[in-house]
Copies of this chain bind each other. A is one copy, B any other.
Amino acid sequence: MLLGLAAFGVAQSAVANDELVKMQQDPNQWVMPTGDYANQRYSKLDQINATNAAKLHPVWTFSTGVLRGHEGGPLVIGDTMYVHTPFPNNVFALDLNDNGKIIWKYEPRQDPNVIPVMCCDTVNRGVAYGDGKIILNQADATVVALDAKTGKEVWHVKNGDATKGETMTAAPMIVKDKVLIGISGGEFGVQGRMTAYNLKDGTVAWKAYSVGPDKDLLVDPNKTTSMGKPIGENSSLSTWQGDQWKTGGGSTWGWYSYDPGTNLVYYGTGNPSTWNPVQRPGDNKWSMTIFARDADTGMAKWAYQMTPHDEWDYDGVNEMILADIDIKGKPTKALVHFDRNGFTYALNRETGELLSADKFDPAVNWATHVDLKTGRPEVVSQYSTQANGEDKNSRNICPAALGSKDQQPAAFSPKTKLFYVPTNHVCMDYEPFKVSYTAGQPYVGATLSMFPPKGDTNLGNFIAWDADKGKIAWSIPETFSVWSGALATAGDVVFYGTLDGYLKVVDAKVGKELYRFKTPSGIIGNVNTYTHGGKQFIAVYSGVGGWAGIGMAAGLSNGTDGLGAVGAYKQLSNYTQLGGVLTVFAVD
């Protein structure tokens, strides 16, 4: 059956794949949330550059009518911009010929009871386009395909059960004739998986779990490798106690990549559930893992677990940036990944070979280093919440649970060969406690508080990373975490947003600030660019929220609320207020 589906897929897939590959090579459009399959978030446009960036200014704006955190960014297909919102996940098709007049809008009706089962704000990271359809992941785990021209529903399917804490925040990615759909809910004991739906009708093409029996994992014990070796039988089951894997997490709420050359899709899995490591002995595979899977069948080619037996909630879901670059001086078909745990990993994306793992924030202290032979981090026992034990407060662990970087995607410029990385500069105290699983109830098992590293006051840095040398090229301190996605362009300028609301443009080579504009609210959206009528535009959502802004977004006030974020970010409300607004910039 699986083979049959795959065979059918090959014939049709060539078309959709060709379309998206071609469209993403056209810098006049922004056809997928990640910019391209490689997640480079790089544009060949250069009308806006270091010489004229200071002359940028807003040219039109659009309020989404929704207050909470606006992650992701709009798509631009031809003369139409597709704007999405957090819950209730409205979608607007805006007319670029008329300053964003609404062509159509789609306003799903969802049960608001999904809101309390979304751990880290009611965010959504964007819609996908393919084959004339817009694919929307609703918070309540409904996937909807809309006609891109009319906004009418073509099909919808349920990808999970929100009453059990299965929700969706990730953007879909369309690959060939399929759409990849992940699941959120690591804080509710969800069994993570990646599902490929047929774009045509929403039927399931393949489904690959992160944890569980081999058949559910879509692995071949003899052919699927990790650190160069076959993973063997029961690679996941053998790393869990009893049937804990059934509520074992490994959710898939981050960003996905695809390499048409290898036909592999890449994505990371999230934390093992619960956050109390004492309760779940073992490596808890394949949580915290990069998977490389065949796009047609879902079969895993390789896997690499960054953080075995997680003790800190260092989800491995951050984006995999695919780039053909030098690593340690050697030309490489690389996959570069800035992990929550504070290490930048570079791997050979064809083989899964681990080439380097370097701290991208000097504050990182939970591990001394990653052993490139075994792939395992060397944990510092002082910061091991497992070693310190239940009901013990492990102090001053860096990074905090939200990581040295979270979902905020980095960009890569093939011109400068630098990665531009929005980072968090935050540490934590972490106290695990015993928790029992109840479907639909939080299954967290830890309390934490967050704060800047000792001696520092800045909660974030925007850094340029040299992956070849494994070090920071330049770094810009920011008052708060940089929770916005970056954009690099051929104009040798880099764009990012700040939690206190500024869109900033810096020189790609040296990091010098060229322009800033105070948008209506804090920026946690991802900057994109496109042309219209031959002119380059920059677009970004503001709308403070996300995990870092959960205190404001959800109206929390106790310091340890919001999974520890409220305390660290409590000053944020002195800088900005809620409100979802798209701002479009240009140079006149």
Contacts and interface: CB of A to CB of B under 8 A. Distances in A.
B521 A574 contact: no
A579 B64 contact: yes
Contact of A101 (B58, B102, B105, B575): B575
A520 B101 contact: no
A578 B518 contact: no
A582 B579 CA distance: 11
A8 interface: no
Nearest to A552: B65
Nearest to A581: B520
Interface in A435-454: none
A458 interface: no
**What is the total number of copies of this protein in its complex?**
2
A67 interface: yes
A96 to B, nearest CB: 12
Contacts of A521: 63, 65
Contacts of A65: 67, 521, 577-579
B581 A581 contact: yes
A542 interface: yes
Contacts of A62: 518, 520, 576-577
A129 B542 CA distance: 31
Nearest to A92: B577
Contact of A57 (B58, B542, B574, B578): B58
A227 B102 CA distance: 51
B60 A517 contact: yes
Given A60-B518, A65-B577, A102-B576, 4 more contacts: A58-B58, A61-B581, A62-B520, A65-B521
B100 A579 contact: no
Contacts of A92: 577
Contacts of A520: 61-63, 520, 581-582
Contact of A578 (B63, B100, B102, B519): B63
Interface of A: 57-65, 67, 92, 99-102, 105, 517-521, 542-543, 573-583
Contacts of A100: 518
A542 B62 CA distance: 10
Nearest to A63: B579
Contacts of A517: 58-60
A580 B66 CA distance: 11
Contact of A575 (B64, B102, B575): B102
A150 to B, nearest CB: 14
User: Which among A65, A101, A578, A582 has the highest number of chain B CB atoms within 10 Å?
Assistant: A65
B63 A576 contact: yes
A518 B102 contact: no
A379 to B, nearest CB: 41
29 contacts: A57-B57, A57-B59, A59-B517, A60-B518, A61-B61, A61-B519, A61-B520, A61-B581, A61-B583, A62-B577, A63-B520, A63-B543, A63-B581, A64-B577, A64-B579, A65-B67, A65-B521, A65-B577, A65-B579, A92-B577, A100-B518, A101-B574, A101-B575, A102-B575, A102-B577, A520-B520, A520-B582, A579-B579, A579-B580
Contacts of A101: 574-575
Nearest to A65: B577
A102 B105 CA distance: 34
Contacts of A579: 63-65, 579-581
A238 B152 CA distance: 61
A303 to B, nearest CB: 43
Contacts of A575: 101-102
A56 to B, nearest CB: 10
Nearest to A107: B573
Contacts of A581: 61, 63, 520, 579, 581
Contacts of A60: 517-518
A63 B574 contact: no
A576 B582 CA distance: 12
